[in-house]
Amino acid sequence: MRILPAFLLLGFIGLNACNEGAGTISKPDSFEFGRTMEETRTRVLQECDSMTIRMDEPIQLPTAQYSQSQLDLSGFSYAGQKRNVELVFADDSLDLIWILINPGEDSLFVEEFTRLYGAPTHIREDATFFLNDGVAVRNNPYEVLFLSERLKEPYRHWLDSAD
């Protein structure tokens, strides 16, 4: 049996106690796909310690035709801890959410998402995807990913072609 650091184990016990585990690791309600950066910024302003707006980022998302921008949050509460969050907007529409997690938490998140969503759709060396549910857990860097409905098929094509 693998022994987890006590703070991780206690954190996930607390995680499971809240909303039966589902509400605290699901996509935060504050982040609604399709919202503009300004709508999202206004909505989450009081939920984080600080915020940085990054306009005119290099276009990497297949859903971005004209622009890609990012809203970086620090101190946003997710899964019982304050975390850094990166919200990525394609043509001013929220499409991608990265929530940074601690090393070692990745396997715990994978276990919880498996409990919630069933078997992963894709397992790679660096990430585990529950693509039908728009969720992934990455281990380099350590992050939880939520992706919009419109990104699921491009991701599926990319993941299937990588196999």
pLDDT per position as a tens digit, 115-144: 999 999 999 999 999 999 999 999 989 999
Please give the C-alpha separations between residue 45 and each of 23, 41, 55, 59, 62, in angstroms, as whole numbers.
Answer: 21, 6, 17, 25, 28
Q: Tell me which of 162 and 50 has the higher pLDDT.
A: 50
- Binning pLDDT at 50, 70 and 90, where does residue 24 land? confident
pLDDT at 163: 62
Rounded Cα distance, 47 and 68, in Å: 23
- Binning pLDDT at 50, 70 and 90, where does residue 7 land? very low
For the chain, the domains span: 6-162
Instruction: Answer whether residue 14 shows pLDDT above 60.
Output: no
Instruction: Answer whether residue 32 shows pLDDT above 60.
Output: yes
Residue percentage of the chain with pLDDT more than 90: 80
pLDDT at 162: 75
pLDDT at 19: 34
| Global confidence as pTM | 0.83
Tell me which residue has tokens 């938490």: 105
